[in-house]
Structure 1
Amino acid sequence: MTQNLEIQQSETDREVDGGETLIMRLAGRVRAVRKELGMPRRELSERSGVSPRYLAQLESGEGNISVLLLQRVASALNTRIEDLLSDTGDTTREARQIAQLYQNAGSETQGKVRRMLVVQNPHALRAQRVCLIGLRGAGKSTLGQKSAAALNIPFVELKSEIESRVGMPASEIMELYGQDGYRAMESEAIEAVVSAHDRLIMSVGGGIVAQPKTFSLLKTYFHTIWVRTSPAEHMARVRAQGDLRPMEGNPEAMDQLKALLAARSHLYETALAQVDTSNRPQQSSVNDVLTTIAKHRFIEQRGP
């Protein structure tokens, strides 16, 4: 009997100690958050509807506040009851400071922070970004523009992004900086696009797959779709765009195109999905792209 009484007394002592610890923790937390906000106790009283005297008792550890009153105090301090009661006050304060810094940062900085903090799995890193890859003439830009419009999201052509950042046409960039310089700009432009957008469709030049680092960066942050077609249609579409260079004075152009396609096919095949535009009307190919995106859940469908 005596042993049972001793056990019960020990448990009661622990409950009292635990209660006192909780009250003192709450007192310190309310006081710290209020001072951090630069809020006088009278202002907190006006916002919460709790008297200044009661608040003084609460902050000194003498008040035994009810849950309802504590909710009003927490709301007035723009925080949660859980944060006031938890034993991670310093962490909570630091988290609020970091959140404020993030909100005040530019979109590019916010993008870098998200990439650093995101759970390291491929799907999360790619967010809802889709990139169309493939040889010139496959229809990447047209399909990208129309698909993005259908989904009401931005469309970016990487070449145009580079031209905008540098302030000159791609042809002049190549002449001035060379192939290596242009490839470095591709990587920088990709990083800028990733920082600015979590949801978009982008198209890139056909040769980007031959740059291992740049292509790896692309596949890390984008769901990739290989837009493919036959060599004959590649050539016909390029010529339809007004570019006669592939054929002019070069009777072996078609053989070269076939060889280039064969050499790069194993790289294009690493894309997460494929859309074949051979002998397909333009709108049918757009529908194919949208169906592929929906099937693989690359981009969430949202209402108007």
Structure 2
Amino acid sequence: MIDPAKVADPGSELIDRLATRVAEVRKKRGLPRRVLSEMSGVSPRYLAQLEAGEGNISVMLLQRVAEALDVRIEALLAEEVPLDHDVQRMAVLFRQAPLEIQHEVRRLLAPQNPAMMRAGRICLIGLRGAGKSTLGRMAGEALGIPFVELNRDIEEHADMPLAEVMAFYGDTGYRRLEAEALERISAKYDRVILAVAGGIVAEEKTYAHLLERFHTVWIRTSAPEHMQRVRAQGDHRPMQGNPAAMAHLRELLKARTPLYAQAEAQVNTANKTVQSSLNNLLAVIANKRFLDPGT
């Protein structure tokens, strides 16, 4: 029985956990304490004290015990039960595999618990001007999680503004950089709100990856508000020299609606204040439990 006086002491908790972990791994390996002593060079008496939670073992000696047990030293100290050898090896193989193989592994595993692949990650999709960046940034601040714009990540890694990226790489090259950026964000963050460019939904493989790895919310508004907000951002290109711009925008929105509609939720920002739209987005995230593990 653990001494109640130790429970409140983080050091005692660590020693108790270490004692339990060493004993469990040793027994699982079928190693008598005497054999472990011979393999590690640590005395049987010291090992007995260690497994009883009475040994204040040095880091160097603990490393020798870990090596003799064929586990990483952090596995003996971690709060969660460490993964077994086969799973650890699979993790190493996964990290070393090409992206195509990693995607195939995820595709095979995702049906077992699709929500687990997306838990904690939220992606805002929709045409430019709907409010993705504004709402994403505000929601991230409200929830205490990072907000990332995919195009900003592309700019940082390409070390040039997006306009130069497009001019240098072209549309095909940009789409490749976009897919790579999405992979980076997926690997880096367990909890994040991501905003992506409106055209990502037209790239079948990239969009499939996005839907697999993120809970998605379509931030939408009316065509006139899309145009108005883009112009308010200082970009007059949609109107200059193109009197049919609004008709083109409506056609684009109509064509992409079936793709955007694959999102798990929608937030319509048309004729709403920013605060009202933010409240709606936060309500969607809470009600659908997008940040809950495995949901």
Task: With the length of structure 2 as denominator, give the TM-score of the two structures.
Answer: 0.70
SS of 1:156 mapped into structure 2: strand
Aligned 8 A contact 1:118 1:124 in 2: no
The corresponding residue for 1:34 is 36
TM superposition shift of 1:258:
0.7
Whole-angstrom distance in 2 between the partners of 1:208 and 1:232: 22
Q: 1:30 to 1:151 in 2, by over 3 A?
A: farther
1:246 equivalent to 2:238? Answer: yes
SS of 1:275 mapped into structure 2: strand
Between 1:159-168 and 1:93-102, the stretch displaced more is 93-102
Over residues 50-69 of structure 1, what are the superposed CA-to-partner deviations in whole Å (9 max), with x where a residue is unaligned? 9xxxxxxxxxxxxxxxxxx7
Over residues 132-160 of structure 1, what are the superposed CA-to-partner deviations in whole Å (9 max), with x where a residue is unaligned? 00000000001000001111001110000
Q: Which has the larger radius of gyration?
A: 1
1:140 equivalent to 2:139? Answer: no
The corresponding residue for 1:208 is 200
Q: 1:35 to 1:284 in 2, by over 3 A?
A: farther
Whole-angstrom distance in 2 between the partners of 1:121 and 1:98: 18
SS of 2:84 mapped into structure 1: helix
SS of 2:184 mapped into structure 1: helix
Q: 1:158 to 1:144 in 2, by over 3 A?
A: same
1:293 equivalent to 2:282? Answer: no
| Residue 247 of structure 2, aligned match among 252, 255, 265 | 255
Q: 1:196 to 1:93 in 2, by over 3 A?
A: closer
1:127-276 maps to which residues of 2 (within 5 A)?
127-276=119-268
Aligned 8 A contact 2:150 2:181 in 1: yes
Q: Which amino acid counterpart does residue 45 of structure 1 have in structure 2?
A: R
SS of 1:130 mapped into structure 2: strand
Over residues 178-223 of structure 1, what are the superposed CA-to-partner deviations in whole Å (9 max), with x where a residue is unaligned? 1111111111111111100111000000011111111111101001
1:45-194 maps to which residues of 2 (within 5 A)?
45-49=45-49, 95=84, 120-194=112-186
Over residues 274-300 of structure 1, what are the superposed CA-to-partner deviations in whole Å (9 max), with x where a residue is unaligned? 000011100111111110011111113
TM superposition shift of 1:249:
1.7
RMSD of Structure 2 on Structure 1 (CA): 3.9
Q: Give aligned-pair identity as a percent.
A: 46
SS of 1:49 mapped into structure 2: helix
Q: 1:35 to 1:184 in 2, by over 3 A?
A: farther
Q: Which amino acid counterpart does residue 163 of structure 1 have in structure 2?
A: E
Whole-angstrom distance in 2 between the partners of 1:26 and 1:165: 46
Whole-angstrom distance in 2 between the partners of 1:214 and 1:234: 24
TM superposition shift of 1:40:
2.4
TM superposition shift of 1:26:
7.8
The corresponding residue for 1:86 is none
Unaligned runs of 5+ in 1: 1-24, 51-68, 79-91
SS of 1:280 mapped into structure 2: coil
Whole-angstrom distance in 2 between the partners of 1:247 and 1:149: 34
Aligned 8 A contact 1:126 1:220 in 2: yes
Aligned 8 A contact 2:124 2:193 in 1: yes
TM superposition shift of 1:251:
1.4
Unaligned runs of 5+ in 2: 1-26, 67-80
* Matched positions, count: 240
Q: 1:176 to 1:279 in 2, by over 3 A?
A: same
TM superposition shift of 1:267:
0.7
Q: Which amino acid counterpart does residue 151 of structure 1 have in structure 2?
A: L
Q: 1:197 to 1:249 in 2, by over 3 A?
A: same
Q: Which amino acid counterpart does residue 256 of structure 1 have in structure 2?
A: H
TM superposition shift of 1:116:
8.9
Task: With the length of structure 1 as denominator, give the TM-score of the two structures.
Answer: 0.68
